[in-house]
Amino acid sequence: MIKLLLIFVIIYFCFKVVKSTVKSLGFNVAKSSQVNTGHGNIENVMIQDPVCNVYFAKEDGVCNMIGGKELCFCSEKCRDKYLAAH
């Protein structure tokens, strides 16, 4: 019975180690799978804000469909400025 418990503990620890390993690797796997969908590459690209000319990651910006075109800004402030000017 004690032996069984010991085996269970060993399995539990192995599971924990594997889980933490997968977790640390999982981020990379998720990122690369995102790239495989074809959109991941675009999402990580640096783009320029047309209002303040600052470069930022698209995923950090504010993107809106404006005049049938997707435009991305570094912040809502810049988007509002752009909308006010156009």
Cβ-contact 5, 13 below 8 angstroms: no
Cβ-contact 72, 47 below 8 angstroms: yes
C-beta of 25 vs 63, nearer to Zn ion:
63
Q: Which of 47, 49, 61, 72 binds Zn ion (CB under 5 A)?
A: 49
Residues in the chain: 86
C-beta of 34 vs 64, nearer to Zn ion:
64
How far is Cα of residue 2 from the mean position of the Cα atoms in its chain? Answer: 46
Residues 19-48 that bind Zn ion (CB under 5 A): none
Told to check if 78 binds Zn ion by CB under 5 A, we report yes
Told to check if 72 binds Zn ion by CB under 5 A, we report no
